Amino acid sequence: MSDNRTETTERTDRERSADSSASATETDPLLRIEDVWKSYGDEEVLRGIDLEVDRGDVEVLVGPSGSGKSTMLRCINRLTEVDSGHIYLDDLDVTAADTNPDAVRQQIGMVFQDINLFAHLTARKNVTLGLRKVRGFSKEQARQRADSELERVGLADQADSYPAQLSGGQKQRVGIARALAMDPEVMLFDEPTSALDPELSNEVLEVMQGLVAEGMTMVVVTHEMRFARGGASRITFLAEGEIVERGPPEQLFENPTHERTAQFFESIRHD
Amino acid sequence: MSVTDALGIDASWLRESTDDLGQGLAVIAGVAFWGWLLTRWLYDWTLGRWGIGPGAGENFLSSAPFERIADALEGSVAALGPIRIPVGWLGSLADGAALAIDIAPALATGAWYTIVLTAVSIAIGFCIAVPVAVLRVYGGPFRWLALSYTELIRGTPLLAQLFVLYYGLPLAVWLNDVDVVGRGFVPEYAFWIAIIGFTINGSAYQAEYIRGALESVDEGQLTAARAVGLSKIEGIRHVVLPQTLRYAIPAWTNELVYLIKYSSLAGFITVPELYYRASRIASSTFEYTPIFTLLALVYLGLVLSATNLMTHVERRVAVPGIGQVEGRQQGTGD
* pLDDT (tens digit per residue) in A41-92: 889 999 999 999 999 999 999 998 888 999 999 999 999 999 999 999 998 9
Closest to B310 measured CA to CA, from B251, B240, B263, B239? B251
* pLDDT (tens digit per residue) in B190-223: 899 999 999 999 999 999 999 999 999 999 999 9
**What is the pLDDT at residue A47?**
93
B119 interfaces chain A, CB cutoff of 8 Å: no
- Edge to edge, what strands does the sheet with A84-89 contain? A43-54, A29-40, A84-89, A92-93
- The identity of residue B5, as a single letter, is D
Query: Which residues of chain A are within 8 Å of residue B246 when distances are taken between CB atoms?
Result: 120
- What whole-number percentage of chain B has pLDDT above 70? 92
Name the band, by pLDDT with cuts 50, 70 and 90, for residue A22. very low
B333 interfaces chain A, CB cutoff of 8 Å: yes
3-class SS string, A45-111: EEEEEEEEEECCCEEEEECCCCCCHHHHHHHHCCCCCCCEEEEEECCEECCCCCCCHHHHHHCEEEE
Closest to B296 measured CA to CA, from B304, B284, B308, B286? B304
How close does chain B come to A225, measured CA to CA in Å? 26
CB atoms under 10 Å from CB of B242, counted, come to 17
Q: Which residue in the set A101, A108, A116 is minimally distant from B223, CB to CB?
A: A116
Query: Which residues of chain A are within 8 Å of residue B326 when distances are taken between CB atoms?
Result: 164
Domains of chain A: 29-117+185-269 (3.40.50.300)
B12 interfaces chain A, CB cutoff of 8 Å: no
How close does chain A come to B224, measured CA to CA in Å? 6
Q: Which residue in the set B221, B320, B326 is minimally distant from A118, CB to CB?
A: B221
Contact present, A48 and A36 (Cβ < 8 Å): yes
Q: How far apart are CA A183 and CA A240, in angstroms?
A: 33
Among A40-44, A120-124, B143-147, B231-235, name the one with the lowest average pLDDT.
A40-44
A170 interfaces chain B, CB cutoff of 8 Å: no
B227 interfaces chain A, CB cutoff of 8 Å: yes
**What is the pLDDT at residue B12?**
79
A81 interfaces chain B, CB cutoff of 8 Å: no
* pLDDT (tens digit per residue) in A183-198: 999 999 999 999 898 8
- Put simply, the answer to whether A102 touches B246 (Cβ < 8 Å) is no
How close does chain B come to A262, measured CA to CA in Å? 34
Tell me the mean pLDDT in the region A6-29: 49
Q: How far apart are CA B141 and CA B298, in angstroms?
A: 46
Tell me the mean pLDDT in the region B90-98: 83
Size of interface A-B (CB pairs under 8 A): 89
**What is the pLDDT at residue B22?**
87
Q: How far apart are CA A138 and CA A118, in angstroms?
A: 20
Name the band, by pLDDT with cuts 50, 70 and 90, for residue B183. low
Element (H, E) at A188: strand A186-190
Contact present, B106 and B281 (Cβ < 8 Å): yes
Q: How far apart are CA B111 and CA B264, in angstroms?
A: 10
Contact present, A186 and A133 (Cβ < 8 Å): no
Q: How far apart are CA A207 and CA A111, in angstroms?
A: 12
**What is the pLDDT at residue B212?**
93
Tell me the mean pLDDT in the region A208-228: 93
DSSP state of A181: T
Contact present, B112 and B43 (Cβ < 8 Å): no
B230 interfaces chain A, CB cutoff of 8 Å: yes
Name the band, by pLDDT with cuts 50, 70 and 90, for residue B51. confident
Name the band, by pLDDT with cuts 50, 70 and 90, for residue B5. low
Q: Which residue in the set B226, B239, B320 is minimally distant from A165, CB to CB?
A: B320
ipTM: 0.85
**What is the pLDDT at residue A230?**
87
Question: What 3-state DSSP class applies to A222?
Answer: coil
- Put simply, the answer to whether B229 touches A161 (Cβ < 8 Å) is no
B239 interfaces chain A, CB cutoff of 8 Å: yes
